[in-house]
């Protein structure tokens, strides 16, 4: 990804080593916005391993303005057995509250859509909380459609551990 100029002197680019603290700050700010301020266990060191280690499995685009990361789009690849092609899962999208309205969120999502098209990926997907009306309106304005009848399922903690024991049986 090339560095792209945005409004007000900001730039959009792929994350690089040294961005971990700024990315983590965006993750924390998103957790606060999503009413889970104490849920983030991630660290800058873990992000460095995940994003820049020998076999990165997640990626991040950032918006930088005046030397500070003000927006993040953290993503990873998915695979559709139905289309036989990869897609992108947008795990976190966040733009600092004071920087909203400048087009940074749209630029971040558009950069992922561009990757999908360039690489022949079949989809760009993410989840949004049901109560998050401003984000839902933003996504609808981009042309995103809700996936009715699909509910995200998750195993964590003890249920995950218990089920894992069955694999060894």
Length of the chain: 169
Query: Active-site residue 139, yes or no?
Result: yes
For residue 62, give both structure tokens: 């950032």
For residue 13, give both structure tokens: 């680019």
Contact 128, 136 (CB under 8 A): yes
Q: Which of 33, 79, 121, 139 is catalytic?
A: 139
Phi, psi of 155 (to 5 degrees): -115, 130
Q: What 8-state DSSP symbol labels residue 7?
A: G
List Cα–Cα distances, 51 to 18, 21, 121, in angstroms: 11, 13, 21
DSSP string, 151-165: ------HHHHHHHHH
Q: What 8-state DSSP symbol labels residue 131?
A: T
Residue 148 gets the label, from left (phi > 0), alpha (psi -120 to 50) or beta, of beta
The residues assigned a catalytic role are 139
């Amino acid at each position: 990804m090339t560095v792209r100029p945005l409004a007000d002197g900001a730039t959009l680019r792929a994350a690089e080593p040294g961005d971990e603290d700024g990315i983590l700050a965006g993750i924390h700010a998103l957790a606060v916005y999503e009413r889970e301020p104490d849920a983030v266990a991630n660290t800058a060191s873990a992000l460095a391993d995940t994003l820049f280690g020998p076999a990165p499995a997640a990626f991040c685009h950032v918006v930088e303005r005046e030397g500070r990361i003000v927006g993040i789009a953290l993503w990873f690849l998915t695979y559709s057995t139905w289309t036989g092609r990869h897609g992108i899962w947008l795990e976190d999208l966040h733009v600092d509250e004071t920087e909203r309205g400048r087009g940074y969120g749209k630029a971040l999502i558009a950069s992922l859509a561009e990757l999908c098209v360039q690489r022949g990926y079949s989809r760009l997907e993410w989840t949004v909380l049901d109560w998050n009306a401003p984000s839902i309106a933003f996504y609808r304005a981009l042309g995103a459609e809700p996936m009715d009848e699909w509910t995200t399922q998750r195993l964590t903690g003890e249920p995950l551990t218990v089920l894992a024991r069955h694999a060894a049986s």
